[in-house]
Amino acid sequence: MPDGRVLIAGASGQLGPSVVRAFTDARWRVLALQRRPEAPWGAEAIALPGEWSAAALAAATQGIRVDAVVNLVGAGVDPGTRQPERLEAVNVGLAERLAVLAGHLGARAFVNLGSGSEYLPSEAPALDESAAENGAEPYASTKAEGGRRALAACAGAGVCAAHVRLFGMYGESERGHRLLPTIVHAHRAGGRAKLSAGFQVRDWLYEQDVGEAVVRLAAALAAGHAPSGVYNLGSGAGNTVRGFAELAAELLGGASDLLEFGAVGLRDGEGNRLVADISKLRAATGWTPRDDLRSGLVRAIAKMQP
């Protein structure tokens, strides 16, 4: 949908740069709703530094009309943002308010970013959107509830909506505590990357592929070509944490002792396998990833700051 207008909440976050760039590359006009006054490259900032209440959101966007709204805001991904009240306020309350805002702004599409961890740990080769949810883990359960409320709010306003469960992302915009930056920084500092044993299987998608998938889905929803509902987003391929780390180390030309496997334990409730079935997203949009794990890692490492 070239020449559309999209409002992106959380454009200055971890996924923001790739999503903004994907929309601008597709000739959308991007409005970035964020706390910081500086807009990401290619976007126009709508700064809202205080509380994102319904009244504040309405005031900040007064007179604006858009074709789509995308919510990238989330609590619980970074350490230190997993307090129960924060998870509830951001993952549930804000997601619902932004869905309501989409209706007020005349949007035809709303995309809410969720997480593959919303599913119960499973040994299934790949999980489709009907798989059982992980209701016991606070981050997962609040993400799922936020998605349900956003879908309901959009249905009431006549807005086509998607709750997108992103299974795993890597790239040059990642926070320093995540797997790839941990390995890259250890290599450049001449140290060792302290990792888990690394036998858990995960589904990783390069951040630029994430951005392109969000654009394709927003356009399909706005055009009435994709039904509202939950969509999985991933590569559709599983790789162990150990395999990911070893490939990154190889591409960095790192020493054999760069990776210290078993130095840290797994997070509570972390399952052995989490891989996405992306057939629903592919059928609705025709999207497939451009990069496999090797080519994506090559691109990400080349762009990471020394």
Question: Is the predicted pLDDT of residue 268 greater than 70, yes or no?
Answer: no
Q: DSSP H helical segments within 166-278, as ranges?
A: 179-189, 207-222, 241-252
pTM: 0.95
Q: Where are the domains of the chain?
A: 5-171+204-236+276-290
Question: Is the predicted pLDDT of residue 86 greater than 90, yes or no?
Answer: yes
Confidence at residue 1, expressed as pLDDT on a 0 to 100 scale: 62
Phi–psi pair at 211, nearest 5 degrees: -60, -45
pLDDT in tens, 109-147: 999 999 999 999 888 999 999 999 999 899 999 999 999
Distance CA 204, CA 195 (A): 17
pLDDT in tens, 47-85: 999 899 999 999 999 999 999 999 999 998 776 778 999
Confidence at residue 256, expressed as pLDDT on a 0 to 100 scale: 72
Phi–psi pair at 207, nearest 5 degrees: -60, -30
CATH fold group of domain 5-171+204-236+276-290? Rossmann fold (3.40.50)
Confidence at residue 225, expressed as pLDDT on a 0 to 100 scale: 97
